[in-house]
Chains A and B, each alone.
Chain A
Amino acid sequence: MKTLRVKDVDRCIGCYSCMLACARHVFRSHSIVKTAILVRTRGGLQSKWGIEICRGCTEPACAQACPTGALTPRPGGGVIFKKAKCSRCAACVDACIARVIRLDDESYPIICIQCGSCARFCPQEVLAMEEQKNV
């Protein structure tokens, strides 16, 4: 299975279409905070962009740290999240090696499900879904 990659960050125009797509499709929210992908300037709009994404780990530290089984490894990389099992302990936040997991307003972790919606809505082909090469 494919996972999300940042292919060419220099093409990014900072439109946030990816973040809004993630919020819309995955979290069913009108929001720029409920999104698993973060586009940020590196310091003001005069700087370049940085994009923080779930790395789609094949041995996900977040899942290893999760005490309740809410996070389990996804075949091909990344994790599967079962909200119903989540105890909101935030262990995954601390464990994430890419430091991309944040908590939402209700203290549930915002987890990338590697669905590719963000890449589909990027007008600049900054993002892509690809097979993991280093598995």
Chain B
Amino acid sequence: MFEGDFLRVLNIDLEHNTFSVRERPDLKPYLGGVGIATKLMLENAAWDEDPLSPTQPIIFAIGPLSGIFPLATKVAAVFRSPLTGEWGESYAGMRAALSLRFAGYDAVVIKGRAPKPTYLRIDREGVFFRDARGLWGLDTEETGRLLREWEPGRGHRSTWRIGPAGENGVAFAGVNVDTFRHFGRLGLGAVFGSKNLKAIVVDGTKSYPIQDPKAYNAAYEKIYTEAVKTPRMAKYHQIGTAENILRLNRSGSLPTLNLQASRFTAAEAVSGETFGAQSLTRILSCTGCPVGCIHVGIYRRPHPEGYGYISTTLAYDYEPIYALGPLLGLDTVDKVYALLDTVEATGLDVISTGVVLAWATEALTQGLITESETLLPLQFGDETGYIRAAEYLAAPPNEFYRELGRGLAQATARYGGTDFALTLGGHEMAGYHTGYAFLLGHSVGARHSHLCNAGYSFDQKHGAAFEDAALVEYLIEEEEWRNVLNSLVICLFARGIYTPEATATALGAVGVAVTPEDLKRVGREIFRLKWEVKRRLGFSLENLRVPRRYFETPSGSGPLDPERYQQLLALYRQRLSEKLGMAL
């Protein structure tokens, strides 16, 4: 956007080792990020083909504020999800957005399958196709270390890579970004693997003159000051998102032991407070964010031979602790770290890993599967089995782990146990058993994530006392607006700062003239386009089943009733059809 009245799209063909840059003025109305990625998906998706077919695209995009405004730190990734078979959307921060901005591209579209393991260097000159045979099979950390040594650009580059899980096509493999952040959800790692793509290094060294320093500095400073000088973002810096463990536990919303309970007796021992006191070593920021929410702790354990200690640094957040802690009954900081260490190294999605292992534990207890499938005993509270099982997920030794690696929607079709498989819309759940709005929001959200529309937040505010219409309205409006934030690819923690007014002002200061109303309209249009893609990829609101477990274990808003849920779903479907003007 700084080089003319168009967006620059970098097209990469892995099959033929070629690339081209296209100037696209027509994409401008969709802002950037998920907006333009949705448009590019409509143009590029291979509708009738498997998610892991070489013809499927991977699309990355940033927005007009990326790298130049505080908290506009994420890159949006869009692809056909190997986990759900439909819409795949994921976000990562750290240095990703800044590097892509200063490499000079608004979006990247990657197609084809490289003839041999390859990694890409993307910089201002274009794309370099590099031999990755020496990296294939390596874990995410070692891959990162080597790429840092092999590729120039210290300080302004970002390194995105997969581990064995992605190489082996695990449907919920992620992409590790700069060690501490991830394109985690919906299986982008497997899509990388299917293309023989081990990693991407983005190096950003361009500079662009500021057009209107006065307006820009004023808008920048206003947002910076709100982020730093008001209490608004403080919680993300202090205990961090992990403070949710105790908060959700208190309200009986913390999914525990595969959601057989919604309170964890050992919550205190794996709380954000305990993680902080026992292990926190430093706090980091995504580049361009003055808040610093990335909590890095040290996992220190005695050397197995008894000589001295080994230590590893790992970033923790609420979701990893929920999925590897309470959900699996792991009740100490070190047990959570021990499993997280394996999940990180192999490149699995942390939430899905916790959820599938929790299901497998219960399925084993119920005799749906036996140790001849799991190859080891899985028991709530015992991390040693889970560590081995996570390794098996990433590199399956048998048919069972291969099936489990396709996600629970697949695995339960074969082994049964759907009633206690914690998936919503085919996606393993995030950690909020707060009530109907979470349940519905996670199921109907475009990417089946708590982040689509934050239903949990509605539940926490209203509990059991709400009007059905108000709940539905909230979910739709929230998702519409989040499509705007995700098009500018602003960190969702900053949603309180980037109000429609503040966002319009920020955009105005860099020459994108919009009103808050325009933005809302664009949000709805993107929402509509996403649904167009989702429908073409086979998703329907009609047969959205919710596992019985959610109705057996009381939520933070009290017990939930399947019929009430169905009513809410029907109302949602009707309202969304009206609003988007399409039959759903």
Is B206 an interface residue, CB under 8 A from the partner?
Answer: yes
Residues of A within 8 A of B213 (CB): 24, 28
Which of B210, B224, B284, B286 is in CB contact (< 8 Å) with A121? Answer: B224
CB pair B292 A13 closer than 8 Å = yes
Residues of B within 8 A of A124 (CB): 292
Stretch at the interface among A29-37, A60-68, A83-91: A29-37
Given contacts A44-B145, A123-B228, A123-B290, contact A13 B208 (CB under 8 A): no
Is B276 an interface residue, CB under 8 A from the partner?
Answer: no
CB pair B217 A15 closer than 8 Å = no
What per-residue 1/0 map shows which CB atoms of B336-359 lie under 8 Å from chain A? 000000000000000000000000
CB distance from A41 to the nearest CB of B (A): 8
CB pair A16 B180 closer than 8 Å = no
Closest to B141 in A: A46
Q: How far is the CA of A51 from the CA of B316 in the complex (A)?
A: 26
What per-residue 1/0 map shows which CB atoms of B99-122 lie under 8 Å from chain A? 000100000000000000000000
Is B364 an interface residue, CB under 8 A from the partner?
Answer: no
CB pair A32 B98 closer than 8 Å = yes
CB pair B288 A16 closer than 8 Å = yes
Q: Which of B217, B285, B313 has the most CB of A within 10 A?
A: B285
Is B29 an interface residue, CB under 8 A from the partner?
Answer: no
What per-residue 1/0 map shows which CB atoms of A36-53 lie under 8 Å from chain B? 001111011110000000
Is A23 an interface residue, CB under 8 A from the partner?
Answer: yes
Which of B67, B148, B208, B287 is in CB contact (< 8 Å) with A14? Answer: B287
Closest to B227 in A: A123
Q: How far is the CA of A117 from the CA of B22 in the complex (A)?
A: 37
Given contacts A29-B210, A31-B208, A32-B155, contact A17 B284 (CB under 8 A): no
Is B283 an interface residue, CB under 8 A from the partner?
Answer: yes
Those of A54-72 within 8 Å (CB) of chain B: none
Q: Which of B98, B179, B180, B228 has the most CB of A within 10 A?
A: B228
CB pair A17 B224 closer than 8 Å = yes
Q: How far is the CA of A46 from the CA of B284 in the complex (A)?
A: 10
Is B68 an interface residue, CB under 8 A from the partner?
Answer: yes
CB pair A105 B207 closer than 8 Å = yes
Q: How far is the CA of A31 from the CA of B67 in the complex (A)?
A: 8
Q: Which of A24, A39, A43, A105 has the most CB of B within 10 A?
A: A24
Closest to A40 in B: B155
CB distance from A27 to the nearest CB of B (A): 8
CB distance from B326 to the nearest CB of A (A): 27
Which of A14, A24, A25 is in CB contact (< 8 Å) with B284? Answer: A14
Is B403 an interface residue, CB under 8 A from the partner?
Answer: no
Residues of B within 8 A of A31 (CB): 102, 206-208
Q: Which of A23, A28, A43 has the most CB of B within 10 A?
A: A28
Is A20 an interface residue, CB under 8 A from the partner?
Answer: yes
Closest to A35 in B: B207
Is B79 an interface residue, CB under 8 A from the partner?
Answer: no
CB distance from A126 to the nearest CB of B (A): 12
Residues of A within 8 A of B287 (CB): 14-16, 32
Which of A23, A40, A123 is in CB contact (< 8 Å) with B207? Answer: A23
Residues of B within 8 A of A28 (CB): 209-210, 213
Is B461 an interface residue, CB under 8 A from the partner?
Answer: no
CB pair B207 A44 closer than 8 Å = no
Which of B179, B209, B285 is in CB contact (< 8 Å) with A44? Answer: B179
Which of A27, A29, A30, A38 is in CB contact (< 8 Å) with B155? Answer: A38
Residues of A within 8 A of B82 (CB): none
Is B220 an interface residue, CB under 8 A from the partner?
Answer: yes
CB pair B210 A30 closer than 8 Å = yes
Given contacts A17-B224, A45-B180, contact A121 B290 (CB under 8 A): yes
Q: How far is the CA of A34 from the CA of B68 in the complex (A)?
A: 13
Which of A17, A24, A104 is in CB contact (< 8 Å) with B217? Answer: A24
Which of B2, B180, B207, B285 is in CB contact (< 8 Å) with A15? Answer: B285
Q: How far is the CA of A23 from the CA of B208 in the complex (A)?
A: 10
Residues of B within 8 A of A24 (CB): 210, 213, 216-217, 220
CB distance from B8 to the nearest CB of A (A): 15
CB distance from B235 to the nearest CB of A (A): 15
Q: How far is the CA of A43 from the CA of B149 in the complex (A)?
A: 9
Which of A17, A29, A38, A41 is in CB contact (< 8 Å) with B288? Answer: A17
Closest to A23 in B: B207
Q: How far is the CA of A24 from the CA of B510 in the complex (A)?
A: 13
Residues of A within 8 A of B67 (CB): 30, 32
Closest to A18 in B: B290
Q: How far is the CA of A22 from the CA of B467 in the complex (A)?
A: 51
Q: How far is the CA of A28 from the CA of B213 in the complex (A)?
A: 7
Which of B156, B179, B180 is in CB contact (< 8 Å) with A33? Answer: B156
CB pair B292 A123 closer than 8 Å = yes
Those of B131-172 within 8 Å (CB) of chain A: 144-145, 148, 154-156
Q: How far is the CA of A30 from the CA of B178 in the complex (A)?
A: 22
Closest to A31 in B: B207
Q: How far is the CA of A39 from the CA of B282 in the complex (A)?
A: 16
What is the interface of chain B, defined by CB distance below 8 A to chain A? 2, 67-68, 70, 94, 98, 102, 144-145, 148, 154-156, 178-180, 204-210, 213, 216-217, 220, 224, 228, 282-292, 296, 313
Q: What are 19 A-B contacts with C-beta separation under 8 Å? A: A13-B283, A13-B285, A17-B70, A20-B68, A24-B220, A28-B209, A28-B210, A30-B68, A30-B208, A32-B67, A32-B102, A32-B287, A38-B155, A39-B155, A41-B154, A43-B148, A46-B179, A46-B296, A123-B228
